[in-house]
Structure 1
Amino acid sequence: MKRLRKFIEKNISGKKVLGLFILTNLVYTFMLTVTVPKTMEFSNGMKLLDMMPTGYDLNYVSELFNSLGEIGRETYLTNQIPVDMIYPLLFALTYSLLLAYFLKKLNKLNSPFTYLCFIPIFAGIADYLENSGIITMLKSYPDLTEISVKTTSIFSLIKSISTTAFFIILIIVLMKLALKTINKKKSSAHKI
């Protein structure tokens, strides 16, 4: 925990955070506009497992993998998954540093609020575990097991819950920062 906290404090310069933010969102946009649509060309309109925040069951996975066919499953494994092995690290780094950057602006970085910066890291780890599960299922298809599907689905749920929680926290922090800025401007206007 201390090492991670030191790493965050050392790397929250505006330029680093902005650079990471741009890179992370370029990778995310690439997934949404290139690799996901390329894979979904084979899915007959069914959503990919990474795009199902509420999870899935054995029937859905079987139906999806069947719809994808051999070429679609191979595309999922060799196009979508490799990019999605870069994104969780970028997400974890970028958003923990971004939140730390804004907490520092609120003078809250050296408080228990710092632990909120670990939520994106938690989401990134869940994303890696989800990806590992998807890889395992794609490679073992058609021999899918209830346990592998349930485990992977749980990691998908953890990823989506922690990601949602993070963005709610980020919005609250940004609102507090906006209020602080407005109040500072009002008080300096009164002094004139």
Structure 2
Amino acid sequence: MLTSLSNFARRYALGRNVLIFFCLQMLISAGILPYMQGKFDPTGIVGVLDLMFGFTPDEAYDKLNAYGEEGRKYYLFAEAVIDIIYPIIYTITNVLLLSYVFKKGFAPNSFIHQLNIFPILATIGDFAENAGIIAMLNAFPERADAAASFASNAGMFKWIAFGMSIALFLIGVIAWIVKVVKKK
């Protein structure tokens, strides 16, 4: 199944498709997400649990308290709707981007092509993090410390997987540059 998914992504890793999903990702991350954050964190001072690399249950509940009742409603909507769509978009973007640079930088039979679906791990972490945050929001004002710890750990997994995806992208770009330089 993973090989089929990897091959499918490689087939559709065309510059046009990468650009379309990249623009869609930028629209969400530069427009929709800041707009939503402004609804539950209008000062931008409190911050968002999703952007933290780990947090304690106390830190999480300090933020949820600071959002206020109305802010928590917006945050729940953002977590349950927007932050389900966004990981799908950024995963498609990242998988296509890795597939594209790997095609440009490596021989068609190279094992590295199978790593093009690595960004899916970040999405799994993101969905798990969202589930933990949603559980905390639904339980509020009661504390769900286990959900907070779960969300924190899932978020750290997400960020590590995302960082590794960036490293894979850089490896692909370097291989592509080396290939171009060798041809000249």
Provide TM-score, normalisation by structure 2: 0.90
- Taking structure 1 as reference, are residues 16 and 108 closer, same or farther at Cα in structure 2, changes over 3 Å only? same
What is the RMSD computed on CA atoms of the aligned residues? Answer: 1.8
Q: Deviations over 1:86-129 (max 9, x none)?
A: 11111111111111111111234532212321221110121111
Distance in 2 (alpha carbons) for counterparts of 1:9 and 1:156: 28
Distance in 2 (alpha carbons) for counterparts of 1:136 and 1:19: 34
Distance in 2 (alpha carbons) for counterparts of 1:41 and 1:70: 13
Displacement after TM superposition at 1:79 (Å): 4.0
Amino acid at match of 1:89: I
Superposed, 1:37-186 pairs within 5 Å as 37-41=38-42, 45-52=45-52, 54-79=53-78, 81-185=80-184
Amino acid at match of 2:178: L
- Taking structure 1 as reference, are residues 90 and 109 closer, same or farther at Cα in structure 2, changes over 3 Å only? farther
More off after superposition, 20-29 vs 78-87:
78-87
More off after superposition, 161-170 vs 104-113:
104-113
* Aligned equivalent of 2:17: 16
Runs of 5+ unmatched residues, structure 1? 186-192
- Taking structure 1 as reference, are residues 109 and 81 closer, same or farther at Cα in structure 2, changes over 3 Å only? farther
Task: Give the secondary-structure state (helix, strand or coil) at the position aligned to 1:84.
Answer: helix
Distance in 2 (alpha carbons) for counterparts of 1:70 and 1:173: 46
More off after superposition, 135-144 vs 169-178:
169-178
Q: Deviations over 1:11-64 (max 9, x none)?
A: 112211221111122111124532223321177x22211110x21111111111
Distance in 2 (alpha carbons) for counterparts of 1:108 and 1:25: 30
Distance in 1 (alpha carbons) for counterparts of 2:34 and 2:146: 32
Provide TM-score, normalisation by structure 1: 0.86
Structure of higher CA gyration radius: 1
